[in-house]
Structures are given as C-alpha cells and as structure tokens.
Amino acid sequence: MKNLKYVMLFFLSLTLMVSCEEENYEFGDITAPTNLQVSAEIVGLDATNPYGDGTGVVNFTATADNAITYKYSNGGSQELAPLGTTSLSFTTQGVHTYTVTVIAIGTAGNSTSTTIDVEVFADYSPPADLTEMLYGDGSKTWRVKAETTGHLGVGPADAVTPDWWAAPPFDKVGLGVYDDRLVFNSDGTVNYITNDTAFGQSGPMDQDFGTPWTANPGGEYESYPLPNFDDTWTLTAPGGQETLSFADKGYLGFYVGGNHSYQILERSATEMMLKIIGTDTNAWFVILTSEEEAGTDYTLVWADEFDTNGAPDPANWTYDLGTGDDGWGNWELQNYTDNAENVIVEDGFLKITAKATGNGGYTSARIKSEGLQEFTYGKVEIRAKLPSAEGTWPALWMLGANNETVGWPESGEMDIMEQVGWDKSRTIGTFHWFDNGTNAGASYGESLDVADTATEFHIYGIEWSAASIKITVDDVPVVTLTNNPDFPFNADFFFIMNVAMGGTLGGDIDSAFTEDSMEVDYIRVYQ
C-alpha cells in the first residue's frame, strides 16, 4: 500500500493467394544443387594422433551451388545444417570408419547428395559422477529450472554466461517450456516428455520440425505442437570441454537449432548449466535441474473460511483503527473502524465495506493477523471479489512481523493484490523493501488484466520460498521476485485486508459514492 515502482526468438513463408480466376505465377527456376563439396576435420588429428585425439568429434563443412540447406545422415540419425557446417560425435570405442551422407537441398525440395568416409578414434569414457548425474538409478527426471534467474539466456558465441539477456523466474509461463521433462537412460537413449508443445525460435523450428503452426504467426518465437519423442545422447569432451550431444532434435525447453551439442559449463549432482550455439550463431543457455520445484507439495496449515457469522474471528484478526498518520502514509480519506457496518462475517463471506458518512467523510475497515497468524514461506490463496466504485482502493497484503520494531520499509511488504481507484480491470502485485546498497526504499511490481473483478471471485495468491516469490491471480503470474538472504522476505509476515478511499492509488472518489464492499470467501495458507 505504499508508493509503487513498476518495473514493466528465419523462416520465410510464401503465401499463395488463389482467386477464382486462373492466373500464372512465376517463381523462377527450380534447380537442383550442383558442385556439392564436403570436407571433414577430425578434431585433434596430427602426426601423433592420425585418427584424432580420442574425442571422436569431426567437424564437417559442405558447400554447393543453389543450395538452401544441408542435411547430414549417419547410421540412421539425421541433422540439418542450414549453413553447411556441423560437428558429429562418434563414440564407439577404438578406430572405426564411418560413412556420412551429405544432402544439399535446393528449391522445391530438389536435392543432390554425396558421401564421405571418416576414420576416427574414440576412447572417451565419461567420468562416473557425470553419468551418475544424468541418469543415476534411472529415476532422474530433468526440467528447466524456471524459478531461477538465467534459466534461459543468450549472449555472444564466446560467452560463458548469458551476457545479453537472462530470463527472470517463470518468464515463459504458458508457452510450453516449464512442463517439459527429460529422462536420460543408461543405454544412450533419452525420453522427451513435451506435453505436446515446444517453444523456441520460429525459423529453426519451422525448418527442422516440418509444417509450421505458430502461436505467434510471423513472429520471431513460437509455440509448436511437438508430441513426446525419444532420442539418443552421447557424451564427449573436445578440448577437455564436457559436451552433451543429441542425434535428433536436441530440444531442451527452448529450440534454437544448431548442431544439437551442448557444452556443460557447470554441473552438480542435481543441476547443470548448458550452452549451445544456435542457428543464429549466438550462444544460448539453459539451466536444468533434476529436483522438482520447491513447494509443489503443500499441506494446509491455516485457513479462515469465514463461515461463522459476526465479527471476524478474534483468534485470527485484530484491527487498525482511525486515520493513521497522513492518511496511513498515503493521504487516504477513510477512518478505519471495527464496526459491523464496516466489517462483518456474513453468509460465508468476510465483507469489508467502505461507506460515505454524509458529511464528506468515509469509514471502512482494515483487519490484520498481526501477533495471531504469522508465517514464513508457503503458498497463500485468497478468494475475493473487489469493489467497483471509483476511488476505492482494495488491498490484500502482507507486512513483516517486525514492523513495529524496525519500521517500514525495513520490515518488507508483499502486496498480493491492490487495485487502483480509476481502473477496475487490472490488479497489481508489488514488493517493497529497504535497499542497503542505495540506502533507500525499493519497490518492484507488475500489473495484470483481470476481468470482472467486481462481479466474479478470483483467487489472489502468492508462492513464497527462500529462492523466489511469485504473486498470481487464478494461477496466472503477475510478478516474480528472486529472493535472497539480504531481503526481509525470509521471516514471519502477517496478513492485512482493507479497503481504502482516495489517496495515492485510490485517486478521485465518485461524487455519488455511498458504499461498496470487498468480499472474501476464504484465506488459506499451505506449507
């Protein structure tokens, strides 16, 4: 309820417009590629190592006249290489000769092919802790670590961190990223569980996956219908760099094409940070974890269902009364009371009613669980219907339990829901704290379009852990803050529910205002 600060991925398609009249269209010559040339560079090949350094990696380069893209085929696995260059890993122990078919593809699917033989030595044996990390006893399941900053990112090709962009927590909710799962198997296979949707750059996805279907037609990024599928994986270490390669799509939550080989930049028993060079020649990053998201299994620890008529349960709620200093610090115009006309539990709902007094004043109520019901971490759901009148400022929020001792904003504040007085089609989620670096108060918030807030109940929620705090409406994220030990959001907080009149976010009050209410069906806390 304090002042806010809102901190607010080549596919070229040709569409034929066919009329009822016959017309002739000229598309130019349809010509098969010619002069296909392929070269192979075995990594580590020298006078001492005539078949390479043992990593089994070979870099290929193909050129042809009139070629649009290239495809490499080896032992049943195929890989597209739009620019003609790719790296293939051969992992059978010892020196072996492999035949690689290279296809140059031109207009209308016309193609030319050739083969090249490479004799390669492979003796790389991945360390036991690496294979243990990937598949363990066979029960490990990997996912994109959505809750951490930089779980997706991009930078220049030589970068080892996402220098240009690092995704905030849960940045791609609803796009087919966070529900994907991978299971690595000891036989070199991997199972992809995509839940029928993949997300990534439109160009590489349209080119590699087939006929496009986009959620963002003509856009740089798209959601794509990709059923569950299986693939094979190999581990190599060219130049000492541990590398995870896939024979087919190499889809790890966000598709950027490339040679489907990921450098393992960092790893622990349950997490790894990977880097791939995409079709666009940029470095793309992804963080995978084999741990399920913290807080997915909750138990109800406290609730008020507001099912007993009368005053709010005194075991759960007390009151802020009066006008506060400077209208509770926001130039609000109401006087808070504990009168039944302003706050009552009735017919299964808590009703907080703001009323005009008839003499230019207003009364309302502000109840709080301070000293009664206080919590650190968990998931909160508050089902509520909001007032519609211009000038009303409803809020469902949390304040640090040490507020009386350290003051605000040092105590921290988490606004699960606020709504301005002049726009009843949006709600706001905000965090407030004291920033030691700038020696000043700091805020971070976002808003979300929410229809029918005054006529329909919605669930206003917060998921709060030591790693992140996410505010939602009907499970749709509004804003997510990466938590850290320096923030005040790692101790007990209590709840506040109120309807203010006017002030900073209430604005001008409708001159015809008489009264309006916020109704709360329940508040539930899970941990």
pLDDT in tens, 402-460: 999 999 999 999 999 999 999 999 999 999 999 988 999 999 999 999 989 999 999 99
8-state DSSP, 168: P
Separation of alpha carbons 478 and 418, rounded Å: 12
The 10 Å Cβ neighbour count of residue 147 is: 21
* Token code pair at residue 124: 């790389």
The Cβ-side half-sphere exposure at 222, using a 13 Å CA radius, reads: 23
Question: Do the bridges between strand 362-364 and strand 334-336 make them parallel or antiparallel, or are there none, so unpaired?
Answer: parallel
pLDDT in tens, 206-261: 777 765 544 445 567 777 788 888 888 888 887 788 989 888 778 888 888 877 88
Cα four-point dihedral sign 328, 333, 338, 343 = negative
pLDDT in tens, 118-155: 999 988 788 899 999 999 888 789 999 988 888 999 99
Q: In Å, what is the CA distance from 254 to each residue of 55, 480, 514?
A: 27, 20, 53
**CA angle in degrees (0–180, nearest 5) for 297-298-304:** 165
pLDDT in tens, 75-103: 656 777 888 888 888 877 788 899 999 99
> Of 242, 332, 381, 418, which residue is the catalytic one?
418
Q: Please state the domain extents for the chain.
A: 34-122, 128-289, 300-526
* Token code pair at residue 427: 């709600």
Amino acid at 274: L
Separation of alpha carbons 523 and 222, rounded Å: 37
Separation of alpha carbons 266 and 271, rounded Å: 8
Mean pLDDT, the chain, rounded, equals 86
The pTM for the full model equals 0.52
> Of 413, 446, 456, 463, which residue is the catalytic one?
413
Separation of alpha carbons 133 and 135, rounded Å: 6
pLDDT in tens, 463-511: 998 888 999 999 888 998 988 889 999 999 999 999 999 999 999 999 9
Question: For residue 87, what are the β-bridge partners?
Answer: 59
What's the pLDDT at 423?
Answer: 95
Separation of alpha carbons 499 and 333, rounded Å: 11
What's the pLDDT at 294?
Answer: 54
The answer to which of 294-308, 480-494, 507-521 has the lowest mean pLDDT is: 294-308
Separation of alpha carbons 473 and 448, rounded Å: 8
**409 preceded by a cis bond (ω within 30 of 0):** yes
How many helices and strands (H and E) does the chain possess? 4, 37
Q: Is 413 a catalytic residue?
A: yes
- Specify the residue for token string 């541990």: 242
Identify the CATH class of 34-122: mainly beta
SS3 283: strand
The model's confidence at residue 376, banded by pLDDT at 50, 70 and 90, is very high
Q: What is the CATH number of domain 300-526?
A: 2.60.120.200
Please state which architecture CATH assigns to domain 128-289. Beta Barrel (2.40)
Separation of alpha carbons 156 and 149, rounded Å: 19
Q: 452 CB contacts (<8 Å, ≥6 apart)?
A: none
Q: Is 381 a catalytic residue?
A: no
